[in-house]
Chains A and B, each alone.
Chain A
């Protein structure tokens, strides 16, 4: 099985433009997450979804939006990109709504540069 896929692998985006980062999982996991990873900082949660049809804000949600129309897909949209959104973005999923010791499985990441 593919696990979690993300697209694109990398992207250079002009400031002010919008973009959607795609994430798809085939493990039928209830919970999905979007993180950003910046040098010298830990992974920071942007948005999450405990189950299809629901979403929640993480630590750094400003400038980002998500939707969870079905179990498999969890796209992340930047409505108007700014240079501070330059980062590596990881999508992850876990079973059981994230509770207990359920590990999170990560996609390969999207490297985004905003100029």
Chain B
């Protein structure tokens, strides 16, 4: 079956670094997406990885290991506005996204 696993909730301190992990099992693989979703709002795109390695985009970076079925999202210099849920999604062989339940990130001052 297809499955995306990520932690339910994480807490971090403003100004610190946090890593949100995601493991995936999909029928075929066409990339791994990360989205951000603030409470009561729509998800918004953060990153896409299809090759192994690290993709850096400002304060956010995303890593992929296809052999391990593993990805992480790294958030640096945390700000209060980063408090949100972070959704991991794998794209299967039919180009459909399989979504994790999301990781709620709580930032404390």
Tell me whether A103 and B95 are in contact (CB under 8 A).
Answer: no
Distance, CA A36 to CA B31, complexed state (A):
22
Tell me whether A44 and B96 are in contact (CB under 8 A).
Answer: no
Tell me whether A58 and B96 are in contact (CB under 8 A).
Answer: yes
Interface residues of B in 44-102 (CB under 8 A from A): 44-45, 48, 50, 87, 89, 95-102
Interface residues of A in 85-108 (CB under 8 A from B): 90, 97-101, 103-108
Partner of A90, one of B31, B42, B48, B98: B42
A42-B87, A43-B43, A90-B42 known; A104 and B97 CB under 8 Å?
Answer: yes
For residue A45, which residue of chain B has the nearest CB? B96
Interface residues on A, range: 20 to 34
Tell me whether B43 and A108 are in contact (CB under 8 A).
Answer: no
What residues on A are CB-neighbors of B42 within 8 Å? 90, 106-109
Tell me whether B97 and A40 are in contact (CB under 8 A).
Answer: no
A103-B45, A106-B42 known; A43 and B87 CB under 8 Å?
Answer: yes
A interface SS class: loop
In this complex, the member of B33, B42, B89, B99 whose beta carbon has the largest number of chain A beta carbons within 10 angstroms is B42
For residue A41, which residue of chain B has the nearest CB? B101
Partner of A45, one of B45, B97, B102: B97
Report if B4 contacts A (CB, 8 A): yes
Tell me whether B100 and A42 are in contact (CB under 8 A).
Answer: yes
Tell me whether B43 and A90 are in contact (CB under 8 A).
Answer: yes
For residue A109, which residue of chain B has the nearest CB? B42
Report if B21 contacts A (CB, 8 A): no
Closest 7 CB pairs of A and B: A42-B99, A106-B42, A103-B45, A101-B48, A43-B99, A98-B95, A42-B101
* 7 A–B contacts, CB within 8 A, in A order: A35-B99, A43-B43, A58-B96, A98-B95, A100-B30, A100-B50, A104-B45
10 more CB-based (< 8 A) A-B contacts, given A97-B95, A101-B50: A35-B99, A42-B101, A43-B87, A43-B99, A44-B99, A45-B96, A48-B96, A100-B30, A106-B43, A108-B41
